[in-house]
Structure 1
Amino acid sequence: MTEAALATQPHSDSPAPGGRRWLLFALTTVVLWGIWGAFAGISAKRGFPETLTYCVWALTMIPPAVIVLRRERWHLDISAKAIFYGLAIGLLGAGGQMVLFRAVTIGPAYLIFPVVSLSPLVTIVMSFLFLGERTNKLGMLGVVLALLALPMFDYDPGGAVTGFGLGWFLLALIVMACWGVQAYFMKLANASMSAESIFFYMMLSGLMLIPIAMMMTDFSHPVNWGWDGPWLAAGIQMLNAIGALTLVYAFRYGKAIVVAPLSNAGGPLVTAALSLVLEGAVPGPLKVAGLFLALIASVFLALAP
């Protein structure tokens, strides 16, 4: 059986996918990442650098990894293929985050994030070509609307691109490619290894890059080591970590061509709603249009088979 055909089959140790199980996990990711997005910037505002926040995030991956492995009686896939897939997924995700740290220091964030947000396009194209994934017309419309909505969340047409070279654009494309390919491998790996093992290797990869994040940290500036520094960051990043775990399960039971755009478009919807309630922040016309498209896209994708 070819690898593409295998990708449509469940892992031998896993229950056969059925019903809307993928949707439950995808929506859980949307909610967790949406809440995380609403509070993610607090740590940096209170003097705890984003590079150190990465280190905290990597550490928060440990508890959920231990819990799910314990539930599996500590069974870990250790074949060469499993290790390759697991580390590829983890390093693409964590490595993309490292590149993003660099990109935002040399380029405009209001243009970088819209480019990065198109990572589901990479996943969709690869899943279409190599896994043979298809969806109905309603699902396809949802995919298109989600891809149209994603860049609108962060784009600021009032910003002027002056004083920047083109290096940021190349780095943004690298991040987009890393995260798009990561999602593709996440779906591919679920065909031959357990979701729990995938997440373990994601956790391991994140820990491996902590020294790089430490080296990228500017310790010449004061760092907030109080409770609202690393400890608050840990509470916020735990939402991110658990959301990553449920995303692995979403890819296990659902099509990458649907899961990727739903999880990426749905999260900002929750973030925007929370920001409106907590801060009274009214989004601009372009963001409102993006949120409206994302809402419609999410409904279409949820209804798609």
Structure 2
Amino acid sequence: MKSKKWLMFALITTLSWGLWGAMTGLFADETIPSTLVYSIWALTMIPPCLIALKLIGWKLDYDKRSVILGCSIGLLGSGGQMLLFQAVNVGPAYLIFPIVSLSPIITIALSFGLLGERTGKLGAFGIVLALIALPLFEYSAGPAESQSQGLLWFALALFVMAAWGLQAFFMKFSNESMSAESIFFYMTITALALIPMAYAMTDFTQEINTSGSVLLTTAGIQVLNSIGALCLVYAFRHGKAILVSPLTNAGAPLISAVLAIILMGVVPSDAKMLGIALAIIAAVILAIEPEDKDKIEKH
């Protein structure tokens, strides 16, 4: 069904990111610093980027507006990742990730106010449930960590949340004037451009495992992230940001949590179980929410 094309891409993103999260937890190698994992992820953006460009006959949007918008989207995403690395180094992860997970609030607010996106009562209820579920997936009632440097981690977490919320909004906004494939191209270019920064942030005094098997496993996991990112751009192309953003951001950790339970024998906390239940309900509601009858799809 054409009106649900956004849902197909959003579900692929959700599945890819859910698998990515689960596989990261299952095969994570602590001897590879997160900065190098970022570099590997940036390189895995190349294959889906080339495939996407081939599908449109290599017709890249390269006017000034497209370059600025595309690079802004890429820098907000990749730059947010860089800030996240620093945040988890100086602050408690169990508090940082719930803050970051609320980025759809910014996307929804901007899309509602600036793009005039609306949804019915059912869709609004689904959005609220998804937003409630998001921080529950990362909540942990563990002891406070004394190594946090004042409120630096809090400020960095807020910046990451804002960056990713703005990125999603600009994805939707840019899709009105440029191709989704061009957007992803600029996302790939900016991700690659930040590799030197990630390299400079790497602590090479620690033991680092660069064996071929570990690097290939890491790349195989990270390509799931890249595929999900490409499909997310397509989801914003065909659907409302106020529906796409909460669905993907709640659905992905849902899949990760379920797979962790199955594959790793993890017993989730009560908070995570509540998050799983709310995310399932929200996903179903957003999936069945009807499109506006007067909506005109742009091809």
When normalised by structure 2's length, the TM-score is 0.94
1:110 equivalenced with 2:94 (yes/no): yes
- Aligned 8 A contact 2:90 2:153 in 1: yes
Aligned counterpart, 1:235: 220
Extract unaligned runs of 5+ from structure 2: 292-299
2: CA distance, partners of 1:152 / 1:145: 11
Say whether 1:125 aligns with 2:109. yes
The one of 121, 124, 134 equivalent to 1:140 is 124
CA shift digits 1:203-228 (9 cap, x unpaired): 00100100000001011112111133
Q: Match of 2:63, as an amino acid?
A: S
Identify which of 247, 265, 288 aligns with 1:303. Answer: 288
Structure 1 residues 242 and 185, CA gap change in structure 2 (3 angstroms): same
Displacement of 1:18 after TM fit? Answer: 3.5
Secondary structure at the residue paired with 1:45? Answer: coil
Over the matched positions of the two proteins, sequence identity in percent amounts to: 56
State which of 72, 88, 91 in structure 2 corresponds to 1:88.
72
1:260 is aligned to 2:225: no
Contact 1:123 1:257 survives alignment (8 Å)? yes
Match of 2:133 in 1: 149
Deviation of 1:73 (Å): 1.0
- Residues 26 and 259, structure 1, Cα contact 8 Å, conserved in 2: yes
**Corresponding position of 2:85:** 101
Contact 2:26-2:264 within 8 A present in 1 as well: no
Look up the match of 1:288. Answer: 273
Cα deviation, residue 275, structure 1: 0.7
Name the SS of the counterpart of 1:19 in structure 2: helix
Alpha-carbon shift at residue 44 of structure 1 (Å): 4.7
User: Match of 1:20, SS?
Assistant: helix
Deviations 1:75-98 (A, max 9, x none): 000011100110000000000000
Tell me how far 1:230 sits from its aligned partner.
1.8
When structure 1 is superposed on structure 2, of 33-42 and 60-69 the one drifting more is 33-42
**1:214-264 deviation digits (Å, cap 9, x = unpaired):** 001011112111133221111000000000000000000000000000000
- Do structure 1's residue 192 and structure 2's residue 180 form an aligned pair? no
Whole-Å separation in 1 of the counterparts to 2:147 and 2:182:
45
- Kindly indicate whether the alpha-carbon contact (under 8 Å) linking 1:43 and 1:53 is maintained by their aligned counterparts in 2: no
Distance 1:93 1:46 in 2: 24
The partner residue of 2:57 within 73, 81, 86 is: 73
Q: After superposition, give the CA deviation of every residue in 1:70-128 in whole Å (9 maximum; x if it has no partner).
A: 12111000011100110000000000000000000000000000000000000000000
2:162 to 173, 177, 189: 177
2:90–2:147 contact (8 Å) kept in structure 1: no
Contact 1:90–1:205 (8 Å) recurs in 2: yes
- For the residue of structure 2 that corresponds to 1:104, the secondary structure is helix
**Counterpart residue identity of residue 215, structure 2:** P
Contact kept, 8 Å, 1:57 with 1:241, in 2: the verdict is yes
SS at match of 1:129: helix
Does the C-alpha gap of structure 1 residues 167 and 46 become closer, same or farther in structure 2, counting only changes over 3 Å? closer
Matched residues in 2 for 1:143 and 1:302: separation?
11
Q: Provide the aligned C-alpha RMSD in A.
A: 1.3
Residue 7 of structure 2 is aligned to residue 20 of structure 1: no
Q: How many residues align?
A: 289
Give 3-state SS (helix, strand or coil) of 1:170's partner: helix
TM-score (norm 1): 0.92
